[in-house]
Structure 1
């Protein structure tokens, strides 16, 4: 296991693009009495291919512990459509509130290169309250 795997415990590679994710529970923004449980997630998109790629859009499937599914999709990420050179990476941090103390997220990014459009998989990852045991490896 490398240091990057310890920092980003979830990863998926498709079409030469590796997407890594590191979720973190935010107790200061969460309130069990509402109920509202909030996580941040740090994403790193790495270009291991030979062509420059651009991230155009995102598709997320967010599932809470009760099985409620929410779809989040739209252009870019955090207001950007980053261009990533071969060997380069793009990092960003975003957040997700849930009404349950655990859930999962997964999805894909719509990308393009000179060879055409493709989807880069976002690995399924667990959003887990620190007192619970994660169910996704």
Structure 2
């Protein structure tokens, strides 16, 4: 488990190797990750976009950016959390992901009042067969 807190937003990440989706002969290693986003602040916030760096030990770094997460831009009241799962493939079986989310603070009228970045902790993507 990997955890980071930025400006009152707690990000917790768990990643697992997916042997059922991996194709060793094709050097395609698949991983799932689950992310829990918890609003520990006193503000109503909305996740607007994401920015990922995917580092594969045998391939060029990939950058993934886009609106929200898995097609959603959740609004979190103080104390609320949002959980989602997604996946990533690597060609080496060894790598990591890191990045950030862009959030907006939302006032009582539903208007954006300020924007800020929230760090996603670096998390490992490892096929144990490569670690021997």
TM-score by length of 2: 0.91
Match in the other structure for 2:50:
58
1:34-80 Cα deviation digits (max 9, x unpaired): 11000000000000000111000000000001252000000010000
Take 2:55 and 2:27, find their aligned partners in 1: how far apart are those partners?
16
**Structure 1 residue 132: deviation in Å?**
4.3
Q: Secondary structure at the match of 1:131?
A: helix
Match in the other structure for 2:38:
46
Please, which of 74, 84, 96 is the counterpart of residue 76 of structure 2?
A: 84
Which structure carries more strand by proportion? 2
Take 2:100 and 2:40, find their aligned partners in 1: how far apart are those partners?
17
Match in the other structure for 1:110:
102
Take 1:54 and 1:104, find their aligned partners in 2: how far apart are those partners?
26
Segments of 4+ moved more than 4 angstroms? none
Take 2:45 and 2:35, find their aligned partners in 1: how far apart are those partners?
16
Note the residue ranges of structure 2 that are not aligned, 5 or more in a row: 107-112
TM-score by length of 1: 0.88
Match in the other structure for 1:123:
121
Please, which of 55, 62, 72 is the counterpart of residue 70 of structure 1?
A: 62
Take 2:41 and 2:130, find their aligned partners in 1: how far apart are those partners?
38
Question: How many residue pairs were aligned?
Answer: 125
Instruction: Say if 1:132 and 1:33 are closer, same or farther in 2 by CA, change over 3 A.
Output: closer
Note the residue ranges of structure 1 that are not aligned, 5 or more in a row: 1-8
Quick check: which has more Rg, 1 or 2?
Answer: 2
